[in-house]
C-alpha cells in the first residue's frame, strides 16, 4: 500500500490535466502538496478544489527567478521537499519546415529548460530528504507518430536524457529520478485536436491501442505516484511507458 504521510510533493503544471490528477492522488495518499502554473485564477481554483492546505505558487517554469521563488516558497511553507514532479508542458503542432526558431525555443524553454531549472533549484531539498524526481515525458520521445510536433518530441526525448543524468549523478545522494511517458490522454493540451476529429477518426485511434481505450489523467497520475513512492525504492533512471500497450503494437 503506497502512502505519502509526512511527505511534501511539488507538481509543476499541477493546476490542470495530468498534474491536477497527480496532485489529487498525492493528497489522497497523505501528502502535503504544492502546485505551480502560470494562470493565477486557474491555480487558485485548482488549489481550493484540492483542499485548504494546498499551496499554489504562480510561476513560469522557464524563468529561473520564478523557479527559485517557487522552490523557496515550498521550503518556507513545508520545511522540506520529498518529491518533485516536472509535469508542466506545452505542445506546438508544426512540422519542421513550418516551425520557426522562436516557436522551437518556447517549447524547449518550458518543457526541457523548465524541468532542468526545477531540478537545479529543488536538488538541495531533495538531497536532504533523499527524495525523488518524476519527469513527465511522452511516448512521442520514442516514436514520432504523425511527425507534426518535432519540438515537443525533441523536448520530451531530452527529458529522458535529463532523467538519466539525474539518476546517475544524484543516486549516490539517495535521490531517484524517473520519467513517465504517456501516450494520448485527452486534456487541455490536445482537446482542440480531439474535438476536430469525427467519431470515426476517434474510434480508429482508440482501436490502435491494444487495451482498446485511451488513458486518463488518473492512469498517468498513478504511474507518477508509484515511481515517486517507497514502493519504487530500487527504481531509478527508467522511462516508463504509460500507453495502453500502443508502443508494443
Ligand atoms: N495529454 C497527453 O496526451 C500527454 C501525453 C504525453 C505527455 N503529456 C505531458 O503531460 C504533461 C501535462 O500535460 P496535460 O495533458 O495535463 O496538459 P494541460 O492539461 O494543458 O496542463 C498543462 C499544465 O502545465 C502548466 N504549464 C504550462 N506551461 C507552463 C509554464 N511555462 N510554467 C508553469 N506551468 C506551465 C499549465 O498551467 P498554465 O497554463 O496556467 O501555466 C497546466 O497546469 C505535459 O508535460 C505533457 O507534455 C501529456
What does the mean pLDDT of the chain come to? 98
Average pLDDT on 75-83 reads 98
Q: Which of 10, 16, 49, 62 to mutate for ligand 1's pocket (most ligand atoms within 8 Å of CB)?
A: 16
Q: Which of 88, 142, 146, 188 to mutate for ligand 1's pocket (most ligand atoms within 8 Å of CB)?
A: 88
Domain boundaries defined on the chain: 8-186+216-242
pLDDT, tens digit (0-9, with 9 covering 90-100), for 116-150? 999 999 999 999 999 999 999 999 999 998 999 99
Average pLDDT on 153-168 reads 98
C-alpha cell at position 71: 522552490
Ligand 1, CB within 6 Å, residue ranges: 12-13, 15-19, 36-39, 42, 59-62, 87-90, 110, 114, 136, 138, 182, 184-185, 187-190
Residues in contact with 7: Cβ distance below 8 Å, sequence separation at least 6, in sequence order: 30, 31, 32, 82, 83
Enzyme catalytic residues: 152
pTM of the model as a whole: 0.98
What stretch of H or E contains 11?
Answer: strand 8-12
Looking at residue 87, its pLDDT comes to: 98
C-alpha cell at position 133: 524526481
Buried b / exposed e over 86-122, threshold 16 CB at 10 Å, is bbbbbbbebeeeebeeeebeebbbbbbbbbbbbbebb
pLDDT, tens digit (0-9, with 9 covering 90-100), for 104-117? 999 999 999 999 99
CATH 3.40.50.2000 for domain 8-186+216-242:
no
Residue 1 has pLDDT above 90, yes or no: no
Percent of the chain with pLDDT over 90: 98
Amino acid at each position: 500500500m503506497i502512502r505519502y504521510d509526512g511527505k511534501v510533493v511539488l507538481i509543476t503544471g499541477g493546476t490542470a490535466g495530468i498534474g491536477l490528477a497527480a496532485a489529487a492522488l498525492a493528497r489522497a495518499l497523505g501528502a502535503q502538496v504544492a502546485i505551480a502554473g502560470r494562470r493565477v485564477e486557474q491555480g487558485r481554483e485548482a488549489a481550493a478544489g484540492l483542499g485548504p492546505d494546498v499551496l499554489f505558487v504562480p510561476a513560469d517554469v522557464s524563468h529561473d527567478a520564478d523557479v527559485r521563488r517557487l522552490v523557496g516558497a515550498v521550503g518556507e511553507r513545508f520545511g522540506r521537499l520529498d518529491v518533485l514532479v516536472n509535469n508542466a508542458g506545452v505542445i506546438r503542432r508544426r512540422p519542421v519546415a513550418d516551425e520557426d526558431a522562436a516557436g522551437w525555443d518556447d517549447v524547449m524553454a518550458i518543457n526541457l529548460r523548465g524541468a532542468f531549472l526545477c531540478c537545479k533549484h529543488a536538488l538541495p531539498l531533495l538531497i536532504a530528504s533523499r527524495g525523488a524526481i518524476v519527469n513527465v515525458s511522452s511516448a512521442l520521445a520514442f516514436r514520432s507518430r504523425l511527425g507534426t510536433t518535432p519540438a515537443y518530441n525533441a523536448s520530451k526525448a531530452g527529458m529522458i536524457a535529463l532523467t538519466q543524468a539525474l539518476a546517475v549523478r544524484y543516486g549516490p545522494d539517495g535521490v531517484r529520478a524517473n520519467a513517465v511517458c504517456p501516450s494520448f490522454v485527452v486534456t487541455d493540451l490536445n482537446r482542440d485536436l480531439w474535438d476536430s476529429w469525427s467519431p470515426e477518426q476517434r474510434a480508429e485511434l482508440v482501436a490502435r491501442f491494444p487495451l482498446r481505450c485511451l488513458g486518463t489523467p488518473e492512469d498517468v497520475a498513478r504511474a507518477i505516484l508509484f515511481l515517486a513512492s517507497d514502493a519504487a525504492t530500487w527504481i531509478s533512471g527508467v522511462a516508463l511507458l504509460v500507453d495502453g500497450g500502443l508502443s508494443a503494437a
